[in-house]
Amino acid sequence: MRVVVMSGVYGSRNGLILFWIVFLLASLTMVCPAEGLNAEGMYLLELKKNLKDEFNNLENWNPDDETPCSWKGVNCTSGYDPVVQTLDLGFMNLSGTLSSSIGGLVCLTVLDLSHNRFTGNVPKEIGNCSKLQSLQLHDNEFFGRFPDELYNLSHLEDLNLFNNMISGSISEEFGRLSSLVSFVAYTNNLTGPLPRSLGKLKQLITFRVGQNSLSGSLPAEIGDCESLQVLGLAQNNLGGNIPKEVGTLGRLEQLVLWDNQLSGYIPKELGNCTKLELFALYQNHLVGEIPAEIGELIFLKRLYLYRNGFNGTIPKVIANLSSAIEIDFSENHLTGEIPTEFSQLKNLKLLYLFQNQLKGVIPQELTRLSNLERLDLSINYLFGSIPFAFQNLTGLVQLQLFQNFLSGSIPKGLGNYSRLWVVDLSSNYLTGRIPPYICRNSSLFWLNLGSNNLHGDIPTGVIKCDSLVQLRLDGNWLQGNFPSDLCKLSNLSALELGQNLFHGLIPPEIGNCRMLQRLDLSGNYFTHELPQEIGNLESLVTFNVSSNFLTGQVPPSILKCKALQRLDLSRNGFIGVIPDEIGKLAQLERLLVSDNKFSGRMPAALGRLSRLTELQMGGNSYSGEIPSELGNLTGLQIAMNLSNNNLSGTIPPELGNLILLESLYLNNNHLTGEIPITFGHLTSLMSCNFSYNNLTGPLPNIQLFQNMDVSSFIGNKGLCGGLLGGCDESPPFNSDPLVKSAGASRGKIVTVVAAVVVGVFLVLVMVVLYLMMCHPVQTVVSVKDKDASFPATDIYFPPEVEFTFHDLVEATNNFHDSCVVGRGGVGTVYKAVMRSGKKIAVKKLASNREGNNIEKSFRAEISTLGKIRHRNIVKLYGFCYHQGSNLLLYEYMDKGSLGELLHGASCSLDWPQLFKIALGAAEGLAYLHHDCKPQIIHRDIKSNNILLDEKLEAHVGDFGLAKVVDMPQTKSMSAIAGSYGYIAPEYAYTMKVTEKCDIYSYGVVLLELLTGRTPVQPLDQGGDLVTRVRHYIRDNSLTPGVLDIRLDLTDETTVSHMLTVMKIALVCTCMSPAERPSMREVVLMLKESDEQEGNFILS
């Protein structure tokens, strides 16, 4: 029995096993179909097809696999039926477009494609991934609009799009992303306003959309984002006020709104954001006082309010910011004294208060800030001494107190206990000696103690400071020999020792300063010859040894300094000749060799210095003729001074090509002949002197010569015209009868010849008129006729302009010189009075182009300029191509240029009129900078380019032309980067023109309006108007003595307002571009000054 039973059990078990085997096989067949890879794998392979995988990161994406779950970057759910849950392809150096097949991964919760080079649009099919929680597309090259379909992702928590090129606006549908916790999309091309639906996102913690082009105002609804901790909207175009509702964000830790167009006041409600750690509102248009409620932000670590229009005093409640590490209130209009309460901020490392209107002494209490690393109180009205205890701050690396009224000595132990990097105490009234330990810890790379009253030697600790890059000690009473050991400093690039009491030789060791770019030894007592080793300084850009007692010949080795831009050897005792090789210094912009003992002929090779803007060779013993090659220096702007030499012969007519030249001095030579008629082209000329030569004949017919003082022409017995008297007057002492008889006979001959010539001319005129009636001229036609000789692509008039090209030619007498009203670096301007009485200014631009086809780039640029409409911009009507020149048609300005009115024989403008002109010009320039897309940089702002209509309304002219005009016969960048006296200082080193260059130039125009002086000043008064004014203020403070005496300075309101505008001009002409305001800020400051000082703007 037992055997039978066991056998039955065995047989039953075999059957059961067989059954399960069959069942499992069937199940496996159902789960793993014969076709292989599942659908999600197929979607991923489709995605891979569009990608370039340089490093084979996706090599194991095998189509023979049954699922993609083992593939690199792919993670699936667990279980018998896994689905793709995470796709992480970040940092794989993939490129190409993202396939729409991505939308097939409907169970995806995380998609990370960051840090690759994906391009194209973001596929809308991602919206099908309804379970998506994290979408990382940042650091790619996606472009196009953000798809609306993605706003369906209601589970999305983390959306990162930053560092792409995504455009378009953020839709109001954004509020549907109800689970969103973090949205980061900075550095894209997003535009339009922020959606008000933003307030619906109750879970939102981080919202960062900086560095886009968002506009409009900050929506009040943002106050409903109750979880928000980080709000970053920097570097956009957001305007309007900061809504007080931001103050309801009790969890906010970072408020970053810098570099927008925000205006108004800081809402006091922001004091409720008590968890704020970072508060950055700099570079906006905010005004008013810093609210006392800021003292409630006790956790604040970094507070940046610089580059706004804040005024009033710094609130004493600043003491409550016990967590503060960095505070920057610079570049505002803050007044009063520096609060001693700063000393209570024990964690403070950075304090910047520069470029305000702070006064009083530097509080001794600041020396208690034991963690202080950076302190900048420059450009204020601080006086008194520098607190000696600053020398005990062990962490101090930056101390900048320049351009104040500080006196006393520099703390002797400064640098003894700290690793100083930057020390700038220049432009004060400091006395005593240079601290001996200032570079004790070998970290100092910038030391500027210039323009003080320091004395003694340069201490050994400075001379052997290996880390020094720039050493500026000019304008003191320092003495001793040239410190040769300075040339052992391998990093030294700037050495300025000018205007001191140094003496002795300039040693051969100077040749070891191989990194030097700027070397200024002017105004000292150096003697003997320049060493040959000066030629080793191949990086030298500026070399100034003027006003010393140097003798001998200039070493030929100096011609090895190919990078030289400014060479000043003036006021020494150099002898010999300047070799022809001088023409190889192709970068040279200013050559000053006046008041030496140079002799021989002037080298014709000077004409090859195409970048030259100033040539000073007066006060030497040059002989022979003036080289005609000097007429090739078409970039010459500042001056050509050849006076007080022994030059002879005639004045070359080629000098008439120097149409940018502002000063010309040829006096005290032995020149003969007439002043060339070509000098009629020198319309930029502001001053000249031809006195004490042997010149004859009439003065050229230009306004300057007709009104110039007689002293500029005396000593030339044969000159006539203008104030010298008419050229047709009989000689006062002519009693010789033979002379009279000869004169009478000559008169008869002239009369007969003239009659014959007139007769022939009348016959020719009649013949031409007959031919014209029989054969009408076909080359001058109406634009509407579109004659083949003037293709439509080369002529453009807007439909509203009611005249033809034929009318234009007729109105200018075929562009005859009699219709010329001005010449400049860009071209010649003609006045055209149309038959309707309408006046047009026609600017004729000489061109190097062959044929009559305008380049597409030129046409596109001019078309853009033609669309600009602003009350303070000269209207461009149109353009065309005619006889090898491009013609631009502008509205005509009856009152001419501001420069002509300011610097003419008499100026009748009063301050209200001048201020109205200044404000109008600022508004026009602000429009070009901020409201034109793309931005237009003027590049040549000057008083002659500010034109005035019959109501004295300012109109900015010649805007944008320097960028698009093909300049004739010039390789000089100076010719297209502005006019001397107006050019921003950084241009000499960067050769780049930015909007900050325009702002500097505008500041110079303001100084012209305020002082009545021209932008170019005598060298002994600074050489330019900005320097002259700054020197005056330094010596006399900001007093009415700097203002134009032609104006009514008896009215206290007028004077007060003018001095306020003077401060704005000084801010605009700051040496550092970063410290200059934007043009919108300038307009705002001008308007505020008007409101505060008495409403000078004429209605």
CA 711 to chain centre: 41
Q: What CA–CA distances, in Å, run from 542 to 545, 626, 973, 1009?
A: 10, 27, 18, 31
- What does the block give as tokens for 26? 């069937």
Of residues 751 and 901, the one with the higher pLDDT is: 901
Contact 823, 844 (CB under 8 A): no
In the structure, what pLDDT confidence band is assigned to residue 968 with cuts at 50, 70 and 90?
very low
Of residues 149 and 725, the one with the higher pLDDT is: 149
Do the first three CATH levels of 454-724 and 768-892 match, i.e. the same topology? no
Q: What CA–CA distances, in Å, run from 577 to 530, 554, 564, 601?
A: 15, 8, 19, 8
In the structure, what pLDDT confidence band is assigned to residue 461 with cuts at 50, 70 and 90?
very high
In the structure, what pLDDT confidence band is assigned to residue 959 with cuts at 50, 70 and 90?
low
Q: Average the pLDDT over each of 226-240, 725-739, 964-978, 989-1003 and give the range with the smallest value.
A: 964-978
Q: Give the 3-state secondary structure of residue 1061.
A: helix
Give the model confidence (pLDDT) of 367-378 as tens digits: 999 999 999 999
pLDDT at 299 over 80: yes
pLDDT at 164 over 50: yes
Contact 476, 500 (CB under 8 A): yes
Break the chain into its structural domains and give their ranges: 454-724, 768-892, 896-1099
pLDDT at 26 over 70: no
pLDDT score recorded for residue 927: 87
Contact 494, 518 (CB under 8 A): yes
CA distance 429 to 435: 16
pLDDT score recorded for residue 578: 87
Q: Give the 3-state secondary structure of residue 996.
A: helix
Average pLDDT over residues 24-30: 43
Closest CA to 716 of 656, 663, 673, 655: 673
Of residues 796 and 557, the one with the higher pLDDT is: 557
Return the CATH fold of 896-1099: Transferase(Phosphotransferase); domain 1 (1.10.510)
Give the model confidence (pLDDT) of 841-856 as tens digits: 888 765 544 333 445 4
Q: What is the DSSP string of 810-871?
A: HHTTTT-GGGEEEE-SS-EEEEEE-TTS-EEEEEEEE----SSPPPHHHHHHHHHHHT---T
Of residues 1080 and 977, the one with the higher pLDDT is: 1080
pLDDT score recorded for residue 815: 77
Give the model confidence (pLDDT) of 541-551 as tens digits: 999 999 999 99
Average pLDDT over residues 1066-1089: 87
Give the model confidence (pLDDT) of 429-460 as tens digits: 999 999 999 998 888 999 999 999 999 999 99
Place of tokens 């006060």: 619
Q: How many CA atoms lie less than 13 Å away from 685 in the CB half-sphere? A: 24
The answer for 837, left when phi > 0, alpha when psi is -120 to 50, beta otherwise, is left
pLDDT at 796 over 60: no
1025-1036 vs 1052-1068: helix axis angle to the nearest 10?
120
Give the highest mean pLDDT range of 227-231, 704-708, 884-888: 227-231
CA distance 243 to 1007: 38
911-930 vs 1079-1093: helix axis angle to the nearest 10?
150
pLDDT score recorded for residue 991: 60
Give the residue numbers annotated as catalytic, written as ranges.
940
pLDDT at 930 over 70: yes
Alpha helices, DSSP H, located in 376-524:
460-463
Name the class of domain 768-892. alpha beta
Of residues 174 and 761, the one with the higher pLDDT is: 174
pLDDT at 519 over 90: yes
Q: Is the backbone peptide bond immediately before 798 cis, with ω within 30 degrees of 0?
A: no
CA distance 733 to 726: 16
pLDDT at 6 over 80: no
In the structure, what pLDDT confidence band is assigned to residue 863 with cuts at 50, 70 and 90?
low
CATH number (3.40.50.10860, 3.80.10.10, 2.60.40.10, 2.40.110.10) of 454-724 reads 3.80.10.10
0.85 exceeded by the pTM? no
